[in-house]
Amino acid sequence: MVNKIRTMLSESKDLALENPRKSYDLAVKAYELAERYGLEIEKGMACFKMAYACRVMSDYSNGLDYALKALDIFKENNHIDGIIKVRNIIGIIYFYFGDYSTALENFSQALEDLEYHENMNLKASILNNIGEIYREAGQYDRAIEYFEDALDISIEFDLRNNISSIYLNLGEVFGLDNRNEESMECIKKSYAIAKTSRSVIIQGEAETKLGKAMCNRGDYQKAQDYYFSALTKYNKVNNKFYLVELLINMAELDETMGTSPVNNLREALNNALEMGLESKVSSVYKLLAEYYERNHEYKHALEYFKSYHLKEKELEATNLAKKLEIISIEFDYFREKSENDKFKALSEKLKREVDESAVELERIKAQNANLVKETLIDELTKLYNRRGIRSMFSKVLGEICDETCAIFIIDIDFFKKYNDSWGHIQGDVCLKKISNCLKNLPYENYFAGRFGGEEFLLYIKVESFEEAVEKGEYVRQAVEALKLSYSKEEDSSHVTVSLGGKTGIVDMNNVNRIIDEADRELYLAKEQGRNRLSISMIEKNNIRYI
């Protein structure tokens, strides 16, 4: 049983960065098994893995709670290696909260314990973490001192992944200290080591920093080459966490080279929203606002500044609530160690403050949710805009999808003729009426969006090719039944639409291709005289209705 639990914990460790939720779930199962069989050390290691997974998911309060439980177990069993590892993770949690003094206290205690228990990999990691504290505090000389100590140990004991990461940290701090040549040298060394690693994440991170360094030196072509290489790697493993920072850097390079950064910034924003990277969301809102302001597009600038301001308020409230939760956990922990009325009273007071902060946070989140919704909705038609369509596809196709659906691209026939007859104001009315028709279809499990101009996209779940045809025809006939005349003549024909569709199994890997194929089906419908549906199956193009 011990071997089974340790195998589960090893797998939990391997999954932590790529899939922290699965890592956490495995650690919970390992803990339950260890508890059932009375295996105390394995219980402590399971708590440690749970704490680590929580740290990756930015769930710091639960991470600290599990770490303190692990610390107690390891202390009771005099498990020095476990104690040191837990003090390290506790230090990391405090570091991410900006409580550098408490983080440093835990790291220093871990180093002291290491004097009597040799673990060079862990020692190098802790020295590197202390270096990060001094870097964030702006004490670059002290940071370099600790990074170099960590590097010396890692080189002596051939800890290759450590070496690559520490060289990156040295490169960053040298850059912050305007020691650009030393910065470049360290980043290149990191990259040379990373290329021998099987981890595309380590390689991509090094290439991102090399691209940034080349951009700072004015070598924009090399910067672009490194960025595209990193982009390929991150897309290969679908790692959106590192992709966000890369896209922000690529946007900066775009503007430096005289092209618009908006596409890369919007992609960074979409990924940050999808991943729940709230601080990155705030940063991208600010960058977009500043870009539009520089280019005198004040309406867009104001929208993004508003989004940035609200997100900052939400982050402030979130951080306050989390800090209070951390303090409350600390006091609960120490109260159990020493029954003290002051600890109890203070803990209860802090819990009340946490509850009050949570109420304020929910209010701000509701404001932000409304704002995000506004950015996903087309102002004229109130259907989803392109960003909203993408968001909805992420939602409905986010999990592995094995259900059949249909995607239609819908185009208003001869819309220019309608505008020429009635004018653009009435043309907007026409778009609204057709949009209302699409919003109120008698079906479940569908959504519609404005794809651009007079084009719309419709996604709907179906069970068969025949059902897809039936629903596509219903839409075509429903629009014609609106009886919107093309002109003021009494015998004027009514506005119609043409539809191109694809039906079959769609997922996030093929959805863009399927949309393109539906667009080609729309072209066939137009060629056949308009006011008709052309649809085919995704895997069997020879099965077509037109």
Q: Give the pLDDT confidence score for residue 342 in this predicted structure.
A: 47
Strand order in the sheet with 455-461: 446-452, 455-461, 404-412, 497-505, 533-537, 544-545
Q: Give the pLDDT confidence score for residue 411 in this predicted structure.
A: 95
CATH class label, 397-545:
alpha beta
**Nearest alpha-carbon partner for 144 in 92, 182, 193, 106:** 182
Structure tokens at 512: 């863009």
- For 163, residues 6+ apart whose C-beta sits below 8 A from its C-beta are 151, 154, 155, 190, 193
CATH class label, 2-237:
mainly alpha
- For 427, residues 6+ apart whose C-beta sits below 8 A from its C-beta are 415, 418, 419
**Nearest alpha-carbon partner for 126 in 113, 139, 116, 136:** 113
- For 279, residues 6+ apart whose C-beta sits below 8 A from its C-beta are 315
- Cα separation, 434 vs 482, in Å, equals 8
**Nearest alpha-carbon partner for 239 in 287, 262, 205:** 205
Q: Give the pLDDT confidence score for residue 394 in this predicted structure.
A: 83
Show pLDDT as tens, one digit a residue, over the chain (546 residues).
889 999 999 999 888 877 888 999 999 999 999 999 999 999 999 999 999 998 887 788 899 999 999 999 999 999 999 999 999 999 998 887 777 888 888 999 999 988 888 889 999 999 999 999 999 888 999 999 999 999 999 999 988 878 988 999 999 999 889 898 899 999 999 999 888 877 788 889 899 999 998 988 889 999 999 999 999 988 877 777 789 999 999 999 999 999 999 999 999 999 888 877 788 999 999 999 999 989 988 888 888 888 988 888 888 777 777 666 666 776 666 666 554 554 555 556 556 666 766 676 677 667 666 666 656 888 888 899 988 898 888 888 865 566 789 999 999 999 998 888 888 888 899 999 999 999 999 998 899 999 988 999 999 999 999 999 999 999 999 999 999 988 878 778 899 999 999 999 888 888 889 999 999 999 999 999 999 999 999 876 556 676
Q: Give the pLDDT confidence score for residue 260 in this predicted structure.
A: 94
